[in-house]
Each structure stands twice: as structure tokens, then as C-alpha cells.
Amino acid sequence: MLSTMQDVPLLISRILTHGSTVHGSSRVITWTGEGEPHRRTFAEIGARSARLAHALRDELGVEGDERVATLMWNNSEHVEAYFAIPSMGAVLHTLNLRLPAEQLVWIVNHAADRVLLVNGSLIPLLAPLLPQLPTVEHIVVAGPGDRAPLAGATARVHEYEELLDGRPDSYDWPELDERRAAAMCYTSGTTGDPKGVIYSHRSIYLHSMQVNMAESMSLTDSDTTLVVVPQFHVNAWGLPHATFMSGVNMLMPDRFLQPAPLAEMIASERPTHAAAVPTIWQGLLAELRAKPRDVSSLGQVTIGGSACPPSLMEAFDELGMRVCHAWGMTETSPLGTVARPPAHAIGTDEEFGYRVTQGRFPAGVEARLTGPGGERLPWDGESAGELEVRGPWIAGAYYNGPDAEPLRPADKFSEDGWLKTGDVGIISPEGFLTLTDRAKDVIKSGGEWISSVDLENALMSHPDVAEAAVVAVPDDKWGERPLATVVLKEGAQVGFEALRAFLSEEAGVARWQLPERWTIVETVPKTSVGKFDKKKIREAHRLGKLDVTKLA
């Protein structure tokens, strides 16, 4: 027996149409750094998204599910791309501007991006890469910035506003299969190349509904959210789509992500909600302590990407900003849990204990814990195992190239299709997750991942290094930072500064991934099968048995 309900596909174009009509007066506010912020209503965003779609189709020839990449800050033009590209049937591919150059090149080529939208201020980052990006035929530049470095590009260069000028304010958005690709992000793990995660229209639509629920971010059209989390970081945690569903105003910081301008934004524009990783809030807290501002409007702060120190929660509580902890990953769209205490704990001594967990699973995310032998563990708040999840906005595979089958590595997906998160934790009978460790040795620094294996391989390519093991150690500011444990070849005298310079200049390691902490050992401890025993290294560090040098 079938239902009598209409079968209307869940599409991003419907989110756009709803937001630009029902919530047409809501606004996207982009910080400019000087003078008045730039303001566009949702109705204007909708019209400009239609004009962008016409330009991509008619002028640049984007057809079918071709990938259109963005190398952009959080701003209104990026929001327009968020809606125009998937609504017309193409695939939005957000590029992480913090990745090393070689990873950006690999990602663009793997996705076969044909058009690339870039903010003018990021041209110095893009221009040197263009000779290695043969699939990119068109570059569209938005906003201020010197265009001169693009003069020799083989790809055609266009001005964003000129492309939109004179085109229709409406577009006949196609009726797509809701399971079709809408957007893609790449995530890097411990080893190998970055992995592509492809979100469907359906998954984004359902995820957006969950973001708007009271047990999640609980935002309405009376709110303004400061979207600090980058739009290239798992679709800005789903906020651009969710806000168009509910009419929430968006305050976009563009490239002004330093503590002082963020404090000015809050004091000037009076947002009620904000979302970012803990390091952003640590910097903002120091700024507000040094130079107080009126930030009383900001009643709710969503923190994810890495664990929020309890002391930071307490400090923001004193400022009237209530921190709400959340957990997720690129593969989970990213909403996995949100730490809103249950009703019985509110106002009691138990409340803070719930808030410092990773949070409770929503209805759309099923979770289970798996022990080392593959056994299922109970939700008793004591049994620790690897967290596995599944649901309508959880990845079931990785993108394996234009003509390849989806990739389902055994270390990331179970035989019955659950995502292995690589996180180890416990779950309470009420469904609250507390992460206790990681199954892999990825270093989570300021909400971004650092591969210990990549750092080790780079170090061991130095002519004076015999062995190198890298582990995560606690850091007050970033949550975790890498500790490099090095075995030098006999007679070698190389110093730590030279090794760090080698990583940066010869191995191409991004500056923010470079270790500050270094130690020399006679040998790296190993397991019975010859692998580096990183548990012993971490334990030695915890007990103060390593002679660690911390570089400035």
C-alpha cells in the first residue's frame, strides 16, 4: 500500500525560492572592514543567484553536473554561489583556502572543476596554481584585489559583476532528482590523498531542517547569526541553507577573522548567535578582556570542530554568551550531536556536565559503539568504543573521480554501511556522546586536521633524519598541536629550526601545520609488528620523560 502524499523532491532551489520570497526582507550582511557593511536582502540574493545561474549556463557553458569551484571568504557572493550552482543542476565545490598548494591542486584536478569563482583578495593564492589546473577553463573574480597575477592565465578571466549585469532576475530551476549531487567537500585523513564527500539535495535539505530545530541551533527570523565558520568548512555547518529556510539574518565576516574586527562586528551589528571553532572564541575572549565591548546581544555560541575547554565555556557564561557544544565531521554534513541539556538537568548542578559532552544525537543520526573485536557496546556511559553512525545526511562512500565507482575503504565504512568516525567515546543511556580518544592519530588543531603520517613522511625525507614519529599533545590555545619525535642519523647535527624550515620550504607543509614542539630520541618505540607505538610516546610526554624544545 502506497501513501497518498505528493512526491515533491527536496531541492536546494526550493530552499532558495522559499527564503527569497517568504523571508525576502531578511538580510546577508558582509563586513567590509571600513565604512558601512554591505547589505543584501534574501530577495536580492535570490535574484542575483538567478542571474549567476544564467551567466554560468549561457556565458560559461556549464552543463549537467559539472563542478563549479569556489575559493572565497564568507560573503554575499559566496551565498549566491551556494544556491545558484546546485539549483541549476551543477555541483558546488568549495575549496579550503588553508590547504597546502599541492593538496589544492590535487583536489581541483580530481574533481575536474571547470569554472572557479575566486575573491580578488585570494588571487595571490590561486595564480601560482593555475598552470597545474588543466580542467579550469574559466575564472570568475569577485570583489577587490589586484587582477594582474591572472594576466598570463590560459583560462578566461571574468568579472563577477559584469557577468551578472543585464541578466534575468528569475531562472526556471529544473526539477532534479533529490539524490543528485549538490555540493562537495574534501577531507584529509591520516594517510593518502584527500577524500571527496558529495552531498545530495536531499541530504542538505534534511540537514537544514535539523539545524533549525529547537534541540539544535533553535534560530528564527528574529535572530542574526555571525557565520565565522568558513563556507568551505562543511558548508559553514549548514547555516546558509538553514537560514534561508527560517529567515535568520546572516552576518558574514569576509576576510576579517581576527579578534578585533569580530568584536567590532558583534558590537555594531548585534548578532544573537555565532558559530566557530574554539580557537576563534579563545582569541575573541582575550580581545574582549583587553578591550571590552558591548557584546550583550550574542546570547548563543555554537562551538564545534574540536572540543571546547570547560574554562572557555565558563568564561563566556560570565559574559552572557551561552556556549553550546556540537560534534560532527565532513562526512556527517556536519551535524552529528548538539549538547543541549535535558529538561530535568536545567538549573541544577548536573547541567554543566551535559554541556561539556559532545552532545545528544538527533533523530536523523543513528549511532553505535564498536569494541576492538567488532562487538556492539551498550550505551551505559562507561563502555568505550569506536563511534559509528548512519543517517540521511551521513556519507556512505567517498568520491573516486569522474569515471570511477564510489570508494568505500574498510577502515572508514563497516560491511553493513555505517560510517566509522575514527573517534572513540562513550554514550550515556540518554544518548549523550563523550569522546575519549581517537582511533587514528590525526591531530585536531583549531578545528582543522593535521596528518601525523604526512608530517612523519616529510621529516623522514630529510637527509639527516633516520626516523620520525608525530603525535598530538594538548595545547591551551589550539586544543592539540603536533609533537615531532626525531631520530637523527649517526653523526648528524641538524637543529629543530632547520627541520621546521625544511618542512615548510622543501616539503610544502602549511605554516599552521608546522610543529612547535620537538624532541630527539635514540629510537622510536615500536609495537610487536614493527609499527610506531605512539601510545608510549604520548605517555612519555605526559610523564615529562621527554626533553621537549618549544620553538617560537
The 10s digit of each residue's pLDDT in 389-412 is: 999 999 999 999 888 999 999 999
The 10s digit of each residue's pLDDT in 293-332 is: 999 999 999 998 777 778 789 889 999 999 999 999 999 9
Please determine, for residue 370, whether its predicted confidence score (pLDDT) is greater than 90: yes
Q: Are 73 and 163 in contact (CB under 8 A)?
A: no
Would you call 331 a catalytic residue per the annotation? yes
Question: What is the crossing angle of helices 310-318 and 278-290, to 10°?
Answer: 40
The 10s digit of each residue's pLDDT in 159-214 is: 999 999 999 999 999 999 999 999 999 986 444 678 999 999 999 999 999 999 99
Q: Phi and psi of 549, rounded to 5°?
A: -105, 130
Q: Are 482 and 472 in contact (CB under 8 A)?
A: yes
Would you call 388 a catalytic residue per the annotation? no
3-state secondary structure 184-238: EEEECCCCCCCEEEEEEHHHHHHHHHHHCCCCCCCCCCCCEEEECCCCCCHHHHC
Quote the CA–CA distance of 394 and 167 in Å, as a whole number. 37
Percent of the chain topping pLDDT 90: 80
Give the angle subtended at the CA of 105 by the CAs of 200 and 56, to the nearest 5°: 50
8-state DSSP, 34? S
The 10s digit of each residue's pLDDT in 441-499 is: 778 888 776 878 778 878 988 999 988 999 999 998 899 999 999 999 888 989 999 99
Q: Are 229 and 237 in contact (CB under 8 A)?
A: yes
Q: Taking the model in full, what pTM does it have?
A: 0.84
* Average pLDDT value for residue range 147-161: 97
Nearest CA to 231 out of 399, 96, 393, 123 is that of 96
Q: Are 398 and 406 in contact (CB under 8 A)?
A: yes
From 80, 178, 331, 480, the catalytic residue: 331
* Average pLDDT value for residue range 17-45: 97
What Cα–Cα distance (Å) separates residue 58 from each residue in 17, 54, 63, 164, 426? 21, 6, 10, 11, 53
pLDDT of residue 194: 87
Which grid coordinates are listed for 93? 565545490
Residue 423's pLDDT band (cuts 50, 70, 90)? confident
pLDDT of residue 189: 47
Quote the CA–CA distance of 89 and 84 in Å, as a whole number. 9
Question: What domains are defined for the chain?
Answer: 7-201 (3.40.50.12780), 443-550 (3.30.300.30)
pLDDT of residue 306: 72
Would you call 534 a catalytic residue per the annotation? no
The 10s digit of each residue's pLDDT in 489-536 is: 888 989 999 999 999 998 899 999 999 999 999 988 876 345 678 889
> Which residue has 596528518 as its cell numbers?
451
Would you call 444 a catalytic residue per the annotation? yes
Nearest CA to 166 out of 47, 80, 13 is that of 47
From 73, 418, 449, 478, the catalytic residue: 449
